[in-house]
Amino acid sequence: MRINRILGIFFGTFSLLALAACSVSTSPGGSGGSGSHKRSGALTIGFSQATQQSPFYVQLRQGARKAAEKAGAKLYFADAGGDVTKQNNDIQDLITRGVDVLMVNPVDPKGVKAGLAAAKSAGVSVVTVDRPVPSGAAAHVGRDNTAMGQLVGERIAKELGPKGGKIIEIKGDAGGAVARDRSSGFHKAVAANKKIRIVSGPYCDYIRSKAVTAMQDLLQTNPDVKAVYAHNDDMALGALQVLKENGRSDVKVAGVDGLMEAVKAIDQHGPYSATALNDPISLGRTAVKTAEDVADGKKVAASIDAGTALVDRDNAHKYVGGTTFASEGAR
């Protein structure tokens, strides 16, 4: 009876460890940690990401992976798939693996509170990436999304001129700081022209296919639209597709992130007018470097701005290249 009980405990523990291992991937290879956050050899970083359903986040992961490899660090990766409950569980799994530091790209800055509390309890420092949280992080690495929206807004306002007109805004994610800031920056930039009216579109979660569906309806109800502003280039390109299908080359389009497909469209001097740089490869690289510094006990700034710049018809040719996103270093 005693032997059966011991075997039951052994196999129960083994099953729990196996489940934890299945929810994260590793780059480069290696076994999970022992549950202790103290470093034993190479630096181990856990990266809990909100989603992989956008090119930006796919490239952000690649940037972090390459930076970790170059630094000789192990990177354990978990994709929340847009589910904040899964993300909290992912964070707990990464802690169980014994990571030295966590990078978190939150699905919901407030909803990830439980995961951050677990990290604090385990003594694991957190660096947030792209999307900040109200509290609980040692540092945040991102870009000034208000500035991005403002840069693009100023360009669109200039193109519309004193006559202004109706602008459709296709938004990112509900409650997200990035969407909020990109919206407020844009609104601030066009506010001086009282003849500009912004029509608020739905939240499309930065996904092109959702923006296509939304734009089909928005164009029907707003045939007098003069411009479309989307919170990322992927959604803006979805809107552009619908406009082309309806023969509306007169409608100006703008996005954010510097997606190369958008940069090339701008360089062709078509309806696509502007975007703002947000290179995810360099963002991932900066995040890993910050995580290293935090793990080593170095003093880091609470908020680290990776920088941005406007891409429009005047300078798009300088950024055109073979990468997925334009890089500021291309100038």
CA-nearest of 97, 239, 117 to 168 is 239
* Confidence label for 39 from pLDDT (cuts 50, 70 and 90): low
Position 41 scores a pLDDT of: 73
Residue type at 226 in one-letter notation:
K
Q: What average pLDDT does the segment 301-310 reach?
A: 95
pLDDT averaged over every residue in the chain:
89
pLDDT at position 331, please? 53
Strands of the 303-305 sheet, one edge to the other: 25-27, 74-79, 44-49, 101-104, 125-129, 139-142, 303-305
CB contact at 8 A, 105 and 129: yes
The pLDDT value recorded for residue 30 is 30
Q: What is the mean pLDDT of residues 65-79?
A: 97
Q: Which residues are within 8 A (CB) of 256 and not within 5 positions of it... i.e. 6 or more apart?
A: 145, 148, 149, 152, 182, 230, 231, 232, 233, 275, 276, 278
- Contact status, residue 166 vs residue 221, Cβ threshold 8 Å: no
Between CA 239 and CA 214 the distance in angstroms is 8
Beta strands in 125-195 (DSSP E): 125-129, 139-142, 165-171
pLDDT over 70 at 33, yes or no:
no
Mean pLDDT of 93-107: 97
Average pLDDT over residues 245-257: 98
Q: What is the pLDDT of residue 175?
A: 84
Of the pLDDT bands very low, low, confident and very high (cuts 50, 70, 90), residue 329 is: low
Q: Would the pLDDT of 164 be above 80?
A: yes
pLDDT for the residue numbered 177:
87
pLDDT over 70 percentage in the chain: 87
What is the structure's pLDDT at 274?
A: 98
Q: What percent of the chain has pLDDT over 90?
A: 83
Report residue 257 as tokens.
């992130």
How many CA atoms within 13 Å lie on the side-chain side of 45? Answer: 33
Q: How many helices (H) and strands (E) does the chain have?
A: 11, 13
pLDDT at 40: 57
Cα–Cα distance for residue pair 96/9, rounded to 1 Å: 18
Give the C-alpha distances (Å, rounded to integers) separating 314 from 138, 168, 225, 267.
Answer: 39, 24, 24, 8
User: What b/e sequence results for 142-180 when a residue is b if at least 16 CB atoms lie within 10 Å of its CB, and e otherwise?
Assistant: bbbbbbbbbbbbbbbbeebeeebbbbbbbbbbeebbbbb
Q: How confident is the model at residue 325 (pLDDT cuts 50, 70, 90)?
A: very high
Residue bearing tokens 């800031």: 181
Picking from 29-33, 234-238, 250-254, which range would have the lowest pLDDT averaged per residue? Answer: 29-33
Report how far apart, in Å, the C-alpha atoms of 115 and of each of 37, 137, 168, 252 are: 15, 11, 36, 42
Mean pLDDT, to the nearest integer, of 116-131? 97
